[in-house]
Amino acid sequence: MTPKVEHLVVDTSAFIRNTQLQEIAENLFTVAEVVNEIKSKRQLRRLVVLPYELQLKDVDPESVAAVKAFSMKTGDYPALSSTDLKVLALTYQLHKEKLGLDGIKTEPTTNKSIEAFDHSLISSANVVGFHLPSSDSGSEQEVPDIDEVTKKLGSLECNGSDNEEEEEEDEEEEEYDSDPPLDDDDWITPGNVADAKRELSGAAELSEDSPPPKVACLSTDFAIQNVLKQMGLSVVTLEGLLIRQVRTFILRCYACFKTTSLMDKVFCPNCGNKTLKRVAVTVDNEGKEVIHINFRRPITSRGKKFPLPKFKGGKHSNNPIICEDQRVPQQRPSKVALSKMNPLEPDYIAGVSPFTVRDVNSRAAVLGVLPGGEVKYWMRKNPNQVVKRRRKK
């Protein structure tokens, strides 16, 4: 029987895939934002009749601040939503309440690739398969005469019995060196496909010998798993497996090839272009950073198809953001739209009054500027910006 986790924090992916969480953990916790992310009617019906008790818990601001600061150091902060940060903070909070702060790291560990031997100790002059001429290679050497070489070759004798013995030895070696018959151990079959996936993902199953973690988090988001593992917290996948791989990310500009560890940057600090891409980084045995770039993944062409319109000024201008220090308007509504009725007036009517003054003539009202500062999607001047529209049910 697989041991159970005592306290488990659950992410949205567990409810979407209908995971039997009562077989993995004893006490289940989550935040209210995770439940609000579930929109499917079938999944909402399952939440009503859960075969276990799901506890909704609030997160304190200190845990959120600690997790946010750590995710910025690992480079996963841009890939985390507000719900993901609260899931991380709840795991951190439960670990602090049940086990204390012992074992929780405040700085991420940088991966180091250690070589089996030092390549700098290898002499470049004695490399097998290569001939490097010495410094005095310009000196002339005597070449033997052609007639002498032909006389020596003519005096050689060939014995046919030696060739027969060599052929017999080759046949015997072929009998012993023949390839063994193939079996199904090296192939991925329906019987071992689960083990193959486990090896490729770098996960290890919870054994009965090793005690299960008291506090863990269940999530399929790699950014959440990476932050938790680097902090020293336990992570469990949907199949009850423990992930043991971590990564550190930085931003690399594919225009000027400069790197930065500030993951909240949108534009390159060196060239100013919006060409930053997240890449994994490790440190070699000499202390140098080694960047791992996936060249098979093409660079997106978003924002490079249509030309941008001419910039316009004004209090309610809406221009696309093309640089880091660009000034933008505040998009504030008029004073009439912000004014509220005075409840101390004798003519005040409780509730919605039909005599409420509404601003319909100002420029802000004509342009549809809302009090929250939002802009209608048809007013966006960037033709490359993606607009997600919901389908009508």
Enclosing domain of residue 265: 248-292
- The reply to whether 219 and 333 lie within a common domain is no
pLDDT in the model for residue 150: 77
Cβ atoms 217, 91 nearer than 8 A: yes
Q: Model's pTM, two decimal places?
A: 0.59
Whether 352 shows a pLDDT value over 80: the answer reads no
- The reply to whether 201 and 265 lie within a common domain is no
Split at pLDDT 50, 70, 90, the class of 165 is low
* Average of per-residue pLDDT across 376-381: 55
pLDDT in the model for residue 354: 62
How many other β-carbons are positioned within 10 Å of the β-carbon of residue 243? 19
- The reply to whether 225 and 316 lie within a common domain is no
Asked, for residue 179, whether it belongs to a domain, the answer is: no
- The reply to whether 73 and 199 lie within a common domain is yes
- The reply to whether 26 and 100 lie within a common domain is yes
Strands (E), 166-309: 203-205, 215-218, 234-236, 241-243, 248-253, 259-260, 276-284, 289-292
Q: Point out the least confidently predicted range of 114-118, 203-207, 260-264.
A: 114-118
Q: Tell me how far apart the 2 most distant CA atoms of the chain are, in Å.
A: 133
Asked, for residue 130, whether it belongs to a domain, the answer is: no
- The reply to whether 232 and 325 lie within a common domain is no
* Average of per-residue pLDDT across 187-195: 78
Q: State pLDDT tens for residues 214-237.
A: 898 888 888 888 888 888 888 887
Whether 355 shows a pLDDT value over 80: the answer reads no
Instruction: Out of 60-74, 201-215, 295-309, give the one with best mean pLDDT.
Output: 60-74
Domain boundary among 235, 263, 292: 292
Angle between helices 222-231 and 61-74 (to 10 degrees): 100
Split at pLDDT 50, 70, 90, the class of 110 is low
Q: Is 268 annotated in some ligand binding site?
A: yes
For residue 251, give the 3-state DSSP assignment.
Answer: strand
Q: Is 323 annotated in some ligand binding site?
A: no
- The reply to whether 12 and 54 lie within a common domain is yes
* Average of per-residue pLDDT across 367-393: 59
